[in-house]
């Protein structure tokens, strides 16, 4: 046995937020500023999906675990015009929440009384959320604070007090107030963005308890890896979304911190978690993130132009529990790590070399020894119509090309390699969300079922977007089937019977030596 | 290669395709004058 940390459980959640697409996605908010009379803005509402359509969308069913990645691969492209037959909002790994309930959850996650909901809307949301059995009575009671909030009051907050509006089915139903008069980092816009990421994070943390059977009291540490920043004017990225979300989700014995790295954030956070567990610092570490409003409808102009529904209508979240070796769960090989270093450069060949080929070579593995690669798992239904291509496939082709260059596969095997070692992307384009980690849930199941023995999770990040560096970034790690030796209760490399035999042999030799010296 | 020699070039790279700096390095060897280069992220 080797004592590698294990993937103990994973949860995945979506909140379908069509009104937020219009009012909070940056493609739309930018268009409202630069071209408010545009055809796109006029057409947009006609392209928003119903909650039911978003639930039955096959990539979403894969995300929450009701369908498998192989089911999507077997689906004829495109996916937007097809439905998953047994679709449900409730999934094996989590759930899909409608927008009205999500607004209620946002208010429950707001501990500074910044969120106001119209009273009848709040009452209806409370009832729906109570039926979900996600939250405690005292948490649901936060929705009772809206008894004075009529339409006029909500409208006044938006029109006169710089609050951000919340719409449901195109009707104003709530507002998020600013948290400071002049501090831009506490503006209503930033508070809404941060409360959304917190609420979607909380939803995933709660589903990790409900669906993966995690005991929140046993979690020692929580790492948030989203792409938002919270803080005031004196510390814009002060942070700790992790602890803020874990508090609401009831992880009472945990502390935590935030790890950032653009889309590569989750893969970095997984390395942090694995290292903390392997070092024995903590036994149970949760890596978690909520989604972002900004990317809602990011490629909407192309979707509308091509007559498609707006497919970027979901706020996503995920949580993964990394624990000490249990002898059963898939292990994270903390000694097979890919790194895009400062000296790696930006050429795609170098990037994939540093993240895939180099760490495998160091470990004496071939690229064909990895059963499945999980790089950027963006759903091609979203990216292809927008001209960004099939992102996972592009990654697989580059991995295959490197395998050819290294003489590990023949040039004619590239297509087969992509098919056998790749997957069709199912994750929403929520930045960090698709970056390697959507596969952890299905991977855990596949490994436990003996279908997959070894996989690689790859996170990549566009650091240059922050205008601090032109660098790209990425890290990767290998997950393998557990050899089961930890189930014997031993430490790494410890075989009790063997040690007893060795001690017995040594004692016999010692005794014989004594007898010999007396003669 | 001569088609880029002495030409001013604007580069928009793709984060999951060919990024700006890689295109920049190529076109400079062909004698181009890079006036703008950036890499965009569409995901």
Residue A173 predicted with pLDDT over 90: yes
Cα(A325)–Cα(A6) distance, integer angstroms: 5
Q: Does B31 touch chain A (CB under 8 A)?
A: no
- The mean pLDDT of A86-101, rounded to a whole number, is 98
Residue A423 predicted with pLDDT over 80: yes
Amino acid A488: pLDDT: 59
CB A216 within 8 Å of CB A252: yes
| CA-only gyration radius of chain A, Å | 25
Amino acid A457: pLDDT: 98
Amino acid A498: pLDDT: 60
CB A418 within 8 Å of CB A368: no
Residue A424 predicted with pLDDT over 80: yes
Mean pLDDT of chain B: 89
Q: What are phi and psi of A199, to 5 degrees?
A: -65, -40
Residue A299 predicted with pLDDT over 70: yes
Residue A493 predicted with pLDDT over 50: no
CB A277 within 8 Å of CB A324: yes
Residue A89 predicted with pLDDT over 50: yes
Amino acid A198: pLDDT: 98
Question: Taking CB atoms and an 8 Å limit, are B16 and A389 in contact across chains?
Answer: yes
Amino acid A519: pLDDT: 46
Nearest Cα residue in chain B from A395? B16
Question: Taking CB atoms and an 8 Å limit, are B19 and A348 in contact across chains?
Answer: yes
Amino acid A496: pLDDT: 58
Nearest Cα residue in chain B from A352? B16
Q: Comparing A513 with A53, which gets the higher pLDDT? A: A53
Amino acid A516: pLDDT: 66
- The mean pLDDT of A341-351, rounded to a whole number, is 91
Amino acid A489: pLDDT: 55
Cα distances (Å, whole numbers) of residue A512 to A498, A506, A519: 21, 10, 11
Name every residue whose Cβ is closer than 8 Å to that of residue A513 and which is 6 or more positions away in sequence. none
Q: At CB < 8 Å, which residues of chain A contact B? A: 263, 298-299, 345-348, 376, 378, 383, 386-389, 391, 394-395, 429, 431, 434, 460, 462, 464-465, 470, 472
Amino acid B2: pLDDT: 80
* pTM for this entry: 0.92
Where are chain A's structural domains? 6-114+178-488
**Closest approach of B8 to chain A, Cα-based (Å):** 21
Amino acid B42: pLDDT: 80
**Closest approach of B39 to chain A, Cα-based (Å):** 8
Cα(A431)–Cα(B8) distance, integer angstroms: 33
pLDDT tens profile A252-297: 999 999 999 999 999 999 999 999 999 999 999 999 999 999 999 9
Amino acid A63: pLDDT: 98
Picking from A388, A390, A433 by the largest number of B CB atoms within 10 A of its own CB, the best residue to mutate is A388
Question: Taking CB atoms and an 8 Å limit, are B41 and A462 in contact across chains?
Answer: yes
- The mean pLDDT of A495-504, rounded to a whole number, is 65
Residue B7 predicted with pLDDT over 80: yes
Amino acid A508: pLDDT: 77
Amino acid A490: pLDDT: 46
Name every residue whose Cβ is closer than 8 Å to that of residue A358 and which is 6 or more positions away in sequence. A338
In percent, how much of chain A has pLDDT > 70?
96
- The mean pLDDT of A156-175, rounded to a whole number, is 98
Report the DSSP beta bridge partners of residue A378.
A427
Biggest CA-to-CA distance, chain A: 108
Residue A512 predicted with pLDDT over 80: no
Residue A429 predicted with pLDDT over 80: yes
Residue A34 predicted with pLDDT over 90: yes
- The mean pLDDT of A22-34, rounded to a whole number, is 98
Q: Does B15 touch chain A (CB under 8 A)?
A: yes
- The mean pLDDT of A381-392, rounded to a whole number, is 95
Question: Taking CB atoms and an 8 Å limit, are B22 and A470 in contact across chains?
Answer: no
Secondary structure of A274-326 in HEC code, one letter for each residue: HHHHHCCCCCEEEEEECCCCCCCCCCHHHHHHCCCCCCCCEEEEEEEEEECCC
Torsion sign over Cα A352, A355, A359, A365: negative
Count helices and strands in chain A by DSSP H and E runs: 21, 13
Nearest Cα residue in chain B from A427? B43
pLDDT tens profile A210-244: 999 999 999 999 999 999 999 999 999 999 999 99
Instruction: Find, among A482, A417, A380, the residue nearest to A62 by Cα.
Output: A380
Class of domain A6-114+178-488: alpha beta
Mean pLDDT of chain A: 95
Q: Does B19 touch chain A (CB under 8 A)?
A: yes
In percent, how much of chain A has pLDDT > 90?
91
CB A463 within 8 Å of CB A262: yes
Residue B5 predicted with pLDDT over 70: yes
- Residue A495 binned pLDDT confidence (cut-offs 50, 70, 90): low
Instruction: Find, among A400, A439, A438, the residue nearest to A418 by Cα.
Output: A400
pLDDT tens profile A363-385: 999 999 999 999 999 999 999 99
């Amino acid at each position: 046995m080797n004592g590698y940390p294990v993937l103990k459980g994973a949860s995945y959640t979506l909140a379908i937020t069509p009104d937020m697409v219009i009012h909070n996605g940056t493609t739309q908010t930018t268009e409202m500023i630069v071209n408010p009379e545009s055809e796109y803005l006029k057409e947009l509402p006609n392209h928003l999906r119903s909650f039911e359509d978003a639930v039955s969308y096959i990539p979403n069913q894969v995300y929450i675990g009701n369908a498998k990645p192989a089911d999507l691969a077997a689906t004829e492209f495109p996916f937007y015009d097809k439905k998953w037959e047994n679709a449900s909002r409730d999934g094996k790994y989590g759930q899909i929440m409608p927008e009205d309930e999500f607004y209620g959850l946002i208010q429950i996650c707001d501990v500074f009384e910044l969120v106001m909901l119209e009273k009848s809307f709040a009452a209806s949301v409370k009832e729906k959320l109570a039926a979900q059995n996600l939250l405690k009575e005292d948490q649901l009671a936060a929705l009772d604070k809206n008894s004075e909030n009529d339409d006029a009051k909500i409208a006044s907050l938006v029109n006169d007090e710089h609050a951000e509006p919340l719409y449901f089915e195109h009707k104003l139903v709530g507002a998020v107030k600013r948290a400071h008069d002049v501090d831009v980092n506490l503006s209503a816009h930033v508070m809404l963005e941060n409360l959304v990421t917190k609420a979607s994070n909380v939803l995933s943390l709660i589903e990790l308890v409900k669906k993966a059977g995690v005991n929140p009291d046993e979690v020692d540490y929580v790492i948030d890896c989203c792409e938002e920043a919270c803080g005031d004017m004196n510390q814009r990225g002060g942070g700790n979304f992790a602890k803020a979300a874990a508090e609401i989700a009831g992880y009472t014995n945990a502390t935590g911190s935030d790890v950032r790295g653009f889309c590569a954030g989750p893969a970095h956070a997984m390395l942090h978690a694995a290292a903390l567990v392997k070092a024995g610092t903590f036994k149970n570490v949760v890596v978690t993130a909520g989604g972002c409003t900004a990317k809602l409808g990011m490629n909407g102009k192309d979707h509308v132009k091509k007559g498609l529904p707006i497919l970027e209508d979901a706020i996503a979240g995920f949580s993964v529990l990394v624990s000490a070796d249990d002898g059963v769960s898939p292990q994270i090989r903390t000694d097979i790590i890919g790194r895009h270093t400062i000296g790696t450069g930006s050429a795609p060949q170098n990037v994939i070399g540093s993240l895939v080929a180099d760490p495998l070579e160091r470990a004496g593995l071939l690229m064909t020894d990895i059963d499945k690669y999980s790089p950027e798992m963006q759903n091609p239904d979203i990216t292809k119509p927008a001209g960004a291509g099939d992102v996972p496939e592009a990654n697989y082709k580059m991995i295959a090309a490197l395998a050819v260059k290294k003489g590990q596969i023949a040039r004619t095997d590239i297509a087969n390699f992509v098919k056998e070692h790749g997957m069709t992307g199912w994750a929403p384009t929520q930045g960090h969300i698709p970056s390697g980690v959507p596969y952890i849930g299905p991977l855990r199941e596949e490994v436990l079922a003996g279908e997959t023995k070894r996989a690689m999770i790859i996170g990549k990040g566009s650091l240059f977007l922050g205008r601090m560096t032109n660098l790209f970034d990425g890290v990767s790690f290998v997950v393998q089937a557990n050899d089961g030796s930890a189930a014997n209760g031993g430490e790494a490399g410890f075989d009790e019977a063997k040690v007893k035999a060795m001690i017995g042999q040594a004692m016999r030799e010692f005794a014989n030596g004594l007898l010999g010296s007396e003669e | 290669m001569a088609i880029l020699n002495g030409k001013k070039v604007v580069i928009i790279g793709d984060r999951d395709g060919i990024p700006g700096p890689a295109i920049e390095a190529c076109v400079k060897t062909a004698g181009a004058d890079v006036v703008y280069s950036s890499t965009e992220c569409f995901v």
